[in-house]
Each structure stands twice: as structure tokens, then as C-alpha cells.
Amino acid sequence: MQYETILVDVADHIATITINRPEAMNSFNRRMLDEFEYLWKWIADEDDIHCCVLRAAPGKAWSTGVDVKGPSEGKPVVDLDNIWHCEDPGKYLAPKSMNCWKPIVAAVHGMAAGGAFYWLNEADIVICSEEATFFDPHVTYGMTSALEPIGMTYKMPLQDVLRMVLLGNDERIGAGTAMRIGIVSEITTLEELWPRARALATTVAAKPPAATAGSIKAIWQSLDLPRSVAMQQSLKYCQIGNPVGIPQVDRTALMANKDKKFAVR
């Protein structure tokens, strides 16, 4: 795959993915959907990658969702006229939809709007810079907002999702509120955003990949199940994954290290 809309760099077991259409507010087009579909499948199969950082090219926006201004070339992003074969574009943008269970650290700056929530909904750790804002403009333009906000109901309280949807362009969620209601778990300065995301990814990537990927898969797939069924299924993940993950780390050395440092959040 020759990437045109994203940048991909792999080093030290971390794949750094940069949404790279700053001239179009880092919005996604059909080409980007195709690139992310390929990318997530490739990362899922690449054992050397233990964690991912998802960020966007510098500018006013992290992403404003689908590109509504750019020229439509070939197959549209969403073909609403093809009733029986119309697909949600989030299926290709988001890692879990592509069966990629590598941990994702998202680093958000500027505006994150509308379709940007496809990525945020399936990121495992989301941090943002102080000036970041989040909003959903769909209803302002006469469009039903359904897919992105329904995904976000697994992270945000329902009343906050509904308020974001109904107020549309007339209200934006600032970084402080985003942290309070669960969109993000940490706020940094703009200068520290990328280094902090890298630091978090480095910590995750250092852990046994069978344990991190297995935990991600178990927890996310449980969201589609009743609680009792989810608990029964989760035991199987431990039975299958632990014999693989435990040999990937020197537990004795870890337990004997009395100088181990840890952060308090």
C-alpha cells in the first residue's frame, strides 16, 4: 500500500499513524478509508507491533470527519443510494471493526468533529491538548446523527451524548469537560501532546503483547454480550492467552525489582 492520506512509522514496537490531510482539516475521503482498511489488517498481522499511536497533522483540526468539500472520485465514502449494500465508513476507519486488537493511544488536538468519533470510539486511551474541542455538527446540517454518537455511548454518559448531538454546531466540548465526561483521560499542552502519547505507548508496548491484545479483545467483545455471558467468555480468553503471555515476561525479575517506579494519576 502506497499511503497518500496517512503517514505510518514503525519503531520500537510502536506504529505511529498520522492522519495527513491538513489542507482538508484532516477529513477522510474514500482513499483514506481504503488505506485504513489495509493498515488495520496489516497491523493486526504484524507481531512486531505491540501498540499504536493515532494522531493528526498539525493545524486547526484533528479531524472534521468526512470530507464534504473535496471532489468525489470513484466510489463515494457513503453510498446512500445503494440501499441494500450501503456500509458504515466507520467499519474501515476503526481498528476493532477490522479485528485489530493492538492497543490504540489517540492524541487529539484542535477540532474533533462528527466522523472523527469513529476513531475516538474505538481508541483505548485518548488524550488531548488544552485547546482541543469536540462536537457533532450533523443535525445542524439536517443530517441524522446516529452511528458516531451511539458508539460514544459506551464512553460518555447518555445525556452528554444527546446534548452534543442536539446542539450541533452551537456548542463545543472543551478539554476539561471532555475529561470529566469520559471522552479523554488526560490533558496536556499542545507541545507535550505527541511526546506524552509516545510515552504512554512505550509503556504499553513494553508489556507482553499477548496479554495486552488479549485484554483488549476480551473487554471490547464483552460489550456486545449480556454480563453473565461476557464473564463466561472472558474466562476462555485467560485460559487461551495466559499460557502464551506469561512466558513473554520475566515475572521473577519484575517482582524482585524494588526500585520499580510508578505514576499516580
Q: If 0-12 CB within 10 Å is exposed, 13-18 middle and 19+ buried, where does residue 235 land?
A: exposed
With a cut of 70, which residues of the chain have pLDDT below it?
71-74, 80
CB 104 within 8 A of CB 216: no
| Alpha carbons within 13 A on the beta-carbon side of 162 | 3
Beta-bridge partners for 104: 52
Q: How do residues 173-221 score in pLDDT, each as one tens digit?
A: 999 999 999 999 999 999 999 999 999 999 999 999 999 999 999 999 9
Q: Among 102, 109, 119, 131, which residue's Cα sits nearest to residue 32?
A: 119
Strand locations in 109-195 (E): 111-113, 125-129, 133-135, 173-174, 186-188
Look at residue 257 in the predicted model and tell me its pLDDT.
Answer: 83
Provide Rg for the chain, Cα atoms: 19
Residue position matching grid coordinates 486511551: 125
Look at residue 58 in the predicted model and tell me its pLDDT.
Answer: 98
Look at residue 260 in the predicted model and tell me its pLDDT.
Answer: 75
Look at residue 114 in the predicted model and tell me its pLDDT.
Answer: 96
Residue 175, Cβ neighbours under 10 Å: how many?
22
Q: Among 126, 256, 260, which residue's Cα sits nearest to residue 206?
A: 260
Look at residue 256 in the predicted model and tell me its pLDDT.
Answer: 84
Our measurement of the distance from residue 213's CA atom to the centroid of its chain's CA atoms, rounded to an integer in Å, reads 15
Q: Tell the CATH topology of 6-205.
A: 2-enoyl-CoA Hydratase; Chain A, domain 1 (3.90.226)
